Amino acid sequence: MAVYQVLEVPDQLLRSRAKPVKNINNGVLRLVDNMIETMYEADGVGLAAPQIGVLRRVIVFDIGQGPMELINPEIIHQEGEQVGLEGCLSVPGTHGQVKRAHRVVVQGLNRQGESVSLEGEELTARVLQHEIDHLDGILYTDRAEWVKRNGRK
């Protein structure tokens, strides 16, 4: 496996919309595995393909229950509201307060190409929304009520 360099702002690829994956082949599976390795190496809880310069709709995450991956993820339902702190591997040295849905239902494909639906609340919902935003060129700082950089708001 390989560890990719995580792009950081102001890299314009982070503002690009990712394209759907049409075929899940060995290259896509290698991408998913390498993204998981990169996420762990960077000590993150989630990673989207655009963060490593690959404009495909692929996300990986691990909130303590083992690695998960979704290909072509789409939020099909959201409800409630939560406000909490977020950071991002692509915006190092910052964190901010972001309002997100409390609960989401996301549909996508697993590595076998099967349609899967994933429900998440609280942290899981936050991570899913954060990573799917990356697929649309949206950073958490775009949604933040405030951002703290190096100890200053």
Catalytic residue numbers read 131
Q: What is the DSSP string of 127-152?
A: HHHHHHHHHTT--HHHHEEEEEETTB
> What stretches of 1-153 show up as alpha helix (H) in DSSP?
26-41, 122-135, 140-143
In the block, residue with structure tokens 């599976």: 29
Tell me 64's DSSP state: S
